Amino acid sequence: MTTDKLEKEIAAGGYKFPRSENLPVLLSPVKISGTNVTLENSLAVHPMEGGDFALEDNSPTETIVRRYRRFARGGAGLIWFEATAVQEDARSFDRQAMITPENVDAYKRLVEQIKTENPNVKVIVQLTHSGRYSKRGRKPAPVITHHSLPLNDRLPLPPDYPVVDDDYLDRLPEAFVRSAVLARKAGFDGVDIKCCHCYLYAELLSAYQRPGKYGGPYENRARLTLDTISAVRSALPSDTIVSSRVGMSDMMPYPWGFGVPTDGSVACDLTEPLRLIGDMRDRGCTLFSLTMGTPYYNPHVNRPYGKGVPTSPEPPLRGVERMINTSAQVKNAYPELTFVGAGYSYLGESSPYVAAGAIEDGMIDIVGYGRMSLCYPDFPRDIAVGKFDRKKSCLTCGKCSQLLGGFRPVGCPVRDSEIYLPIYQDLLKERAEAGK
Ligand SMILES: Cc1cc2nc3c(=O)[nH]c(=O)nc-3n(C[C@H](O)[C@H](O)[C@H](O)COP(=O)(O)O)c2cc1C
Do 374 and 420 fall within a single domain?
no
| Residue 83 in contact with ligand 1 by CB distance below 6 A | yes
Do 409 and 346 fall within a single domain?
no
Task: For residues 90 and 142, give the distance between their C-alpha atoms in angstroms, rounded to a whole number.
Answer: 9
The angle formed by the CA atoms of residues 420, 426 and 431, to the nearest 5 degrees, is 125
Task: For residues 32 and 17, give the distance between their C-alpha atoms in angstroms, rounded to a whole number.
Answer: 25
Do 402 and 387 fall within a single domain?
no
Among protein residues, the one with the nearest Cα to ligand 1's atom 5 is 48
For residue 345, report the distance from its CA to the centre of ligand 1, in Å.
10
Give pLDDT, residue 155.
Answer: 93
Buried b (16+ CB within 10 A) or exposed e, 224-241: bbbbbbbbbbebbeeebb
Do 46 and 106 fall within a single domain?
yes
Do 336 and 408 fall within a single domain?
no
Do 318 and 435 fall within a single domain?
no
Q: How many domains does the chain have?
A: 2
Give pLDDT, residue 309.
Answer: 61
The answer to whether 150 and 104 have CB atoms below 8 angstroms apart is no
Average pLDDT along the chain: 95
260 contact partners, CB below 8 Å, separation of at least 6: 249, 250, 251, 252, 253, 254, 266, 267, 268, 269
| Residue 97 in contact with ligand 1 by CB distance below 6 A | no
Give pLDDT, residue 103.
Answer: 98
Query: In this predicted model, what pLDDT tens digit does every residue of 87-119 receive, in sequence order?
Result: 999 999 999 999 999 999 999 999 999 999 999
Interhelix angle 271-282/316-333, rounded to 10 degrees, is 50
Pocket test for ligand 1, best of 351, 371, 372, 424 (most atoms within 8 A of CB): 371
Of all residues in the chain, the percent with pLDDT exceeding 90 is: 92
For residue 202, report the distance from its CA to the centre of ligand 1, in Å.
16
* DSSP secondary structure, 324-347, as one string: HHHHHHHHHH-TTSEEEE---GGG
Pocket test for ligand 1, best of 1, 45, 49, 300 (most atoms within 8 A of CB): 49
| Residue 346 in contact with ligand 1 by CB distance below 6 A | yes
In the Cβ-directed half-sphere of 219, how many Cα atoms lie within 13 Å? 2
| Residue 344 in contact with ligand 1 by CB distance below 6 A | yes
The answer to whether 72 and 118 have CB atoms below 8 angstroms apart is yes
pLDDT > 80? residue 282? yes
Give pLDDT, residue 5.
Answer: 78
Query: In this predicted model, what pLDDT tens digit does every residue of 26-40 receive, in sequence order?
Result: 999 999 999 999 999
Nearest ligand 1 atom, CA 398: 31
349 contact partners, CB below 8 Å, separation of at least 6: 1, 2, 3, 6, 388, 390, 393
Q: What is the domain extent for residue 410?
A: 398-436
| Residue 294 in contact with ligand 1 by CB distance below 6 A | no
Do 330 and 433 fall within a single domain?
no
248's enclosing H/E stretch is none
Helix, strand and coil percent figures for the chain, each rounded to 5: 40, 15, 45
| Residue 41 in contact with ligand 1 by CB distance below 6 A | no
